[in-house]
């Protein structure tokens, strides 16, 4: 079966945990490093994907994703490629804030965010629709490369990809750090 006639597979992995994640903060484009637990999660991700036949690793430019991709890449013998369009959403005024405070102070807006309402926009930041468009473009680049591929990014990126594939979109808190979701893509023709 040729590369163009078989289904392409992309694994979407959330970066390992940071201390700010543990504190319940919205990160967005803030760039904290992985904590010790995050490094261990990246190592466990590499072990789970050892026999998945990963041919390429792509990463968001943010440190937490890059470091996760480096740990996995070292274990699998693959040099990660940074793809700027995999960056987390610009969360504007929410960046650095505690999620529980946002839920209390802006319950309707927080509920729209949790539900992945396509009309939702982070106050002072990016809309979910804009992130979906950017993620769609990034995944087209990934799909044109070697398969299967691992994408190390963020909960927002994974939710955008799931929404675009018409899969159920879980709240960000349901996407574990260092966990991967397989996103089957249609085989390309030609």
pLDDT digits 0-9 by tens, 95-135: 999 999 999 999 999 999 999 999 999 999 999 999 999 99
Give CA torsion, residues 156, 162, 163, 167, to 10 deg.
-150
Catalytic one of 88, 95, 110, 177 = 88
Q: Of the residues 15, 110, 154, 177, which is catalytic?
A: 15
Per-residue model confidence (pLDDT) at position 8: 80
With cut-offs at 50, 70 and 90, classify the pLDDT of residue 6.
very low
pLDDT of 2 over the 80 cut: no
More confident call, 6 vs 151: 151
User: In this predicted structure, what is the pLDDT of residue 57?
Assistant: 98
Question: Which residues have C-beta within 8 Å of that of residue 150, sequence separation ≥ 6?
Answer: 10, 11, 13, 49, 52, 54, 56, 57, 58, 69, 72, 180
Annotated catalytic, 15?
A: yes
Q: Is 166 a catalytic residue?
A: no
Strand ranges, E, within 15-171:
56-59, 81-82, 149-153
Please give the residue that has the higher pLDDT: either 86 or 8.
Answer: 86
55-91 pLDDT per residue, tens: 999 999 999 999 999 999 999 999 999 999 999 999 9
Give the model's confidence band at 23: pLDDT under 50 very low, under 70 low, under 90 confident, else very high: very high
Judge contact between 2 and 142, C-beta under 8 A: no
Other Cβ atoms closer than 10 A to 65 = 29
CATH level 2 (architecture), domain 8-184: 3-Layer(aba) Sandwich (3.40)
């Amino acid at each position: 079966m040729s590369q163009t006639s078989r289904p392409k597979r992309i694994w979407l992995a959330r970066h390992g945990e940071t201390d700010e994640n543990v504190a319940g903060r919205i990160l967005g484009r803030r760039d904290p490093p992985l904590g010790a637990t995050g490094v261990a999660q990246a190592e466990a991700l590499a072990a789970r994907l050892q026999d998945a036949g990963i041919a390429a690793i792509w990463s968001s430019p943010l440190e937490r994703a890059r470091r996760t991709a480096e740990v996995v890449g070292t274990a699998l013998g693959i040099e990660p490629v940074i793809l700027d369009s995999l960056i987390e959403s610009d969360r504007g005024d929410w960046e650095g804030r505690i999620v529980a405070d946002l839920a209390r102070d802006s319950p309707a807006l927080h509920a729209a965010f949790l539900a992945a309402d396509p009309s939702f926009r982070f106050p002072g930041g990016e809309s979910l629709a804009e992130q979906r468009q950017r993620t769609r473009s990034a995944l087209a680049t990934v799909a044109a490369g070697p398969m299967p591929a691992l994408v190390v990014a963020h909960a927002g990126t994974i939710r955008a990809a799931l929404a675009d594939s018409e899969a159920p979109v879980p709240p960000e808190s349901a996407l574990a750090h260092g966990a991967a979701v397989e996103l089957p893509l249609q085989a390309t023709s030609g």
